Amino acid sequence: AQSVTQLDSQVPVFEEAPVELRCNYSSSVSVYLFWYVQYPNQGLQLLLKYLSGSTLVKGINGFEAEFNKSQTSFHLRKPSVHISDTAEYFCAVSDKRVSQKLVFGQGTRLTINP
């Protein structure tokens, strides 16, 4: 079975500063990896996904993530954040053999201060 750990429950940063949201996963099989964003009282929106190929994945809103198989990590980064990036971010993993079931991390609340 897979599990996902998001190492920070809250991350405060100043506007225009860089940010990294950390995600580690545990799995005995090959996985697909995802980052979702949730704005208050809304559903989840896909930011980016890693299925195969290049380990650096670019997503929407200027976010990117790097898959590191040896460290079983999939950290999310943005070089310069904006107030509108304030939201909760979820890392998720699925088993390549049963790709339709997602396991989510606990979420990281990103707060951007002016």
Partner 1 sequence: DGGITQSPKYLFRKEGQNVTLSCEQNLNHDAMYWYRQDPGQGLRLIYYSQIVNDFQKGDIAEGYSVSREKKESFPLTVTSAQKNPTAFYLCASSESSYEQYFGPGTRLTVT
> Can you give the binding site for partner 1, defined by CB under 8 A?
4, 9, 32, 34, 36, 41-46, 49, 51, 90, 94, 99-102, 104-107
**70 phi/psi in degrees, rounded to 5:** -65, -35
Cβ partners under 8 Å of residue 36, min gap 6: 44, 45, 46, 47, 89, 90, 92
Instruction: For partner 1, give the closer residue by CB, 40 or 114.
Output: 40
Residue 93 beta carbon to partner 1: minimum distance, rounded to whole angstroms: 11
Residue 35 beta carbon to partner 1: minimum distance, rounded to whole angstroms: 11
The whole-angstrom separation of Cα 108 and Cα 49 is 17
Residue 104 beta carbon to partner 1: minimum distance, rounded to whole angstroms: 4
**Amino acid identity, residue 4?**
V
* SS3 at position 94: strand
Quote the distance between the C-alpha of residue 66 and its chain's center: 10
Instruction: For partner 1, give the closer residue by CB, 36 or 63.
Output: 36
**Amino acid identity, residue 24?**
N
Instruction: For partner 1, give the closer residue by CB, 34 or 63.
Output: 34
Instruction: For partner 1, give the closer residue by CB, 67 or 90.
Output: 90
Residue 80 beta carbon to partner 1: minimum distance, rounded to whole angstroms: 26
